[in-house]
Amino acid sequence: MLHLCSNLHFSIKTWSFLFIFFILAFFTTLNYHHNSPPTSLFYFNTFISSATNYTLATYLRHLTLHPHLAGTTPSLHTALYVKSHFQSLNLQTHVTNYTVLLSYPLFSSVILHFPNGSVLSLALDEPGFSSSGVVKPYHAYSPSGSAYGKPCFLNYGRKKDYIALGANGVKVKGCVGIVRRGGGLSRNEMVEKAAARGVEAVLMFTEGEFEGGVERGTVMSGLGDPLSPGWGGVENGEKLRIDDPLVMQRFPSIHSLPISMKSAEIILKSLEGPEMPYEWRKSLRCSTSGRLGPGPIMINFTYQGEKKMATVHNVFAVIRGSQEPDRFVLLGNHRDAWTYGAVDPNSGTAALLDIARRYALLMRLGWNPRRTIILCSWDAEEFGMIGSTEWVEQNLVNLGSKSVAYLNVDCAVQGPGFFPSTTPQFDNLLTEITKKVNDPDSEGMTLYERWTAANRGIKIQRLSGVDSDFAPFLHHAGVPSVDLYYGRDFPVYHTAFDSYNWMVNFGDPFFQRHVAVTGVWGLLALRLAEDPILPFNYLPYAAELQDYTRILSKLLEGRNISLHPITAATQELAAAAKETLDEAKKLKEDKATDEHTALKRRILNDRLMFAERGFLDAEGLQGRPWFKHMVYGPRNDGESELDFFPGIANAISKSSGGGEQNAEIQHEIWRTARAIQRAAHGLKGELIT
């Protein structure tokens, strides 16, 4: 027996799980024998106790055997693995395919020409991966072409960085810009800001990358397939031409390429010209000459890529609700990766597969959720949330009328620490659930205890960023959303070193962090699918809006602009939230099972579910109409001080303080106030008469 256990690598935790499983099955049998079916609490406890780090590690190992970039054969094999896993659990499984425009590299080179006549060709591959099937480092959707010019260090490529360069007498027009990632800007914003100032091409590096890793990524703006903006990119459906202005405006106008920090150092140490500002030198984590350039070396830059049609595959497992089958709780994770994807995204994929396994176990014990649960495995997220966006656009009406919540996990485990982001009506529920899950790094403590100790209280981020698959659900469809991470940053992001070996050596050697994230994610979905009254509380939403208004008031101090519309609308939302809580309490205490009481619960749940849709504005954000959420969404200027009220933030960024600009800000304040008011009315469930 011991020899058998050794061969199978069974851990003590695995045997504990089997023991618990048999005990649970025994008592379940006793319950049925006495005509007392298991309670929701029984199933919740079973879900928690059926966790094993062994299964999570096994799933991740299989998912990361090969690189699986979207649109490639290995990516299809990964989709089939997820599909077969769902089917093996007897879950209703289906695949939805989309034909979309993706982007791949063909050739790239960066050659340095020194004043003494010597020439150096920079190594663009990562060490040890030249023949591994890993895609060469590149920026998806970068235009092909060549550039020849002197290098110039642009810091993060922000507006204030260009002001500092100008103040030092540096002219960037015609240069090849060297930019470091960060500063709040997306890759697209970095490249476009450089193009607007006459920079010929951009070389982008990430500080602190692991052993010469290079961070791949997309430089396309917006979400979804560029050829089907606003509608699902189904096969034989409408497609815009690639030279259509609506398509071309999604792509940068100049070439760009990612390079390693080591390659960036070679360039930065060769620069002459004015000294770097002290703040730049102090924060840089790589060696430099301390100069800005341009030159004196010259860079010959060439990139050739291809944009081509490819099929991407979304895989779904559906657990049909027994009482409210037309109400959907969605759990989503993307499956495609730039390379092996052990952290990004397949730590999350492993968690999704384990949730499926544990839900299937509950079903074998007699469980069926009140509402429908849908497990979603997205494709082509790395290119711009393409798989999830196409599906949301295709199903917009049903999602808008039937979705309870979308729960996203991208990189389940990046390192230590719990970092949740939610829309605020989840705050109380999330806090409650963290008290049920053991902390993976502190024996004898719950996740809640460790999380609050590390942050001196509860710290929940919000969802204004456009950095994972929650974006189309929240920003376009208005579905209440959650995004969960364990760990904040990791040094192998989008590099060839994001592998199973890195995870077992650095990220989560014993896979206990995976267990913790899976526990929180799965319990959130169980509560949302099972509770007779949806566990949403909009008082934290109103409190958050009040905080935002105070911050905005300080920012606009001294300008002839009134925030009263937002203040009044927020007060209305707070009153509606309080009334709804009181109503929910009474209904929870009412144990009646007649149709009238069931209908009252259904009506209240609809109001709790639909209130988030009120924050949408049909016209969308100015300049980015696809994004419709007036509280959370992307800013046109990544340098804005505000990470909320995106319409107002955009108007302030364009403003120079004049009367006309003040009027535009005031208009956006009114638009935001009307959105808050719509949410309040939706929560009340009353028509305005």
Catalytic residue among 381, 382, 530, 668: 381
Transcribe 549-572 into DSSP letters. HHHHHHHTTTSS---HHHHHHHHH
Residue 688's Cβ-count burial label (10 Å; 0-12, 13-18, 19+) is exposed
Round to whole Å and give the CA distance between 122 and 135. 17
> CB of 524 within 8 A of CB of 482?
yes
Q: Which two tokens stand for residue 530?
A: 């099972």
381 is catalytic: yes
188 membership: H or E segment, kind and range:
helix 187-196
Sign of torsion over alpha carbons 48, 504, 384, 378? negative
How far apart CA 444 and CA 382 sit, in angstroms, is 38
Collapse the DSSP code of 93 into the 3-class scheme (helix H, G, I; strand E, B; otherwise coil) and give the result: strand
- Please, are residues 675 and 614 in contact by the beta-carbon 8 Å criterion? yes
Burial code (b: 16+ CB inside 10 Å, e: under 16) for 238-258 equals ebbeeeeeebeebbbebbbbb
Return the closest-CA partner of residue 441 out of 512, 348, 504.
512
281 Cα distance to chain centroid: 31
- Distance between first and last Cα of the chain: 75
Alpha-carbon gap, residue 462 to 543, rounded angstroms: 13
Distances in Å between the alpha carbon of 27 and those of 23, 31, 91, 296, 569? 6, 6, 25, 78, 52
Residue 581, beta-bridge partner list: none
Residues marked active site are found at 381
